[in-house]
């Protein structure tokens, strides 16, 4: 059995915070505002994975008013989501993600993001894709007020022991 999940997240850019996207620290004068490290890409990915598995959203598992998650690395949260998938019998087939930001340029960081995400998910690097785009100056991303991310995942249920069924021809 396979399932598709999608996730979306957005965070405001602010002064005085590091910019962490895809588990990678990016050299930029602004960072994303949020309770955790505000890693918009990882948050979108977590929601996609949880949704595909029929579980609740990240706000349920990592509430913003819980002090245990203040400043936490989103990669650690992603590892926890992976454990939830493992215990419910799901595994990643592939994840395809996109960062929507006018600046900074993401290209120099994409490969490191893919590697971090694959490692956190215990997946082969070839199962993880990250891309970036701009909005050509339009909207809050285009004005440099925030960064958004989308993720789509395909997961599969681990095979359960039992008789093999053949489809009717």
Per-residue pLDDT of the chain (169 residues; tens, 9 = 90+): 999 999 999 999 999 999 999 999 999 999 999 999 999 999 999 999 999 999 999 999 999 899 988 989 999 999 999 999 999 999 999 999 999 999 999 999 999 999 999 999 999 999 999 999 999 999 999 999 999 999 999 999 976 644 555 555 4
How distant, in Å, are the alpha carbons of 46, 48, 66, 92 from that of 158?
A: 19, 18, 33, 10
pLDDT at position 60 is 95
Q: What is the pLDDT of residue 163?
A: 52
CATH of the domain at 41: 3.30.1330.50
169 occurs within a structural domain:
no
What pLDDT, on a 0 to 100 scale, did the predictor assign at position 158? 78
pTM over the 0.95 mark: no
In a domain, 164, yes or no: no
Identify whether 120 is part of a domain. Answer: yes
Domain extent at residue 129: 2-157
**Residue 36 DSSP SS3:** coil
Question: 6 - beta bridge partners?
Answer: 152
Residue with structure tokens 């082969």? 124
32 located within any domain: yes
pLDDT score for 64: 87
Write down the pLDDT at residue 24: 98
Q: What is the DSSP string of 94-162?
A: EEEEEEE-SSS--GGGHHHHHHHHHHHHT--GGGEEEEEE--TT-HHHHTTSEEEEEEEEEEEEPPPSS
Domain count within the chain: 1
Contact 20, 147 (CB under 8 A): no
What separation, in Å, do the N-terminal and C-terminal C-alpha atoms of the chain show? 20
Indicate whether 107 belongs to any domain: yes
Whether 163 is in a domain gets the answer: no
Does 132 reside within a domain?
Answer: yes
pLDDT of residue 59: 92
What is the per-residue pLDDT across 16-34, written as a single tens digit (0 to 9) for each?
999 999 999 999 999 999 9
167 in a structural domain: no
């Amino acid at each position: 059995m396979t399932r598709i999940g999608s996730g979306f997240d957005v965070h405001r850019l602010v002064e005085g915070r590091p910019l962490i996207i895809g588990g990678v620290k990016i050299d930029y004068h602004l960072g994303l505002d949020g309770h955790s490290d505000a890693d918009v890409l990882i948050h979108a990915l977590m929601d996609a994975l949880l949704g595909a598995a029929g579980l609740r959203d990240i706000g349920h598992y990592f509430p913003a008013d819980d002090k245990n998650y203040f400043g936490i690395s989103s990669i650690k949260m992603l590892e926890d989501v992976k454990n939830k998938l493992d215990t419910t019998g799901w595994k990643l087939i592939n994840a395809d993600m996109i960062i929507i930001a006018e600046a900074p340029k993401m290209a120099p960081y994409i490969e490191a993001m893919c590697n971090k995400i694959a490692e956190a998910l215990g997946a082969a690097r070839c199962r993880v894709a990250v891309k970036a785009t701009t909005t050509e100056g339009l909207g809050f991303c285009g004005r440099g007020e925030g960064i958004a991310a989308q993720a789509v995942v395909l997961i599969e249920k681990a095979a359960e022991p039992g008789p093999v069924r053949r489809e009717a021809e």
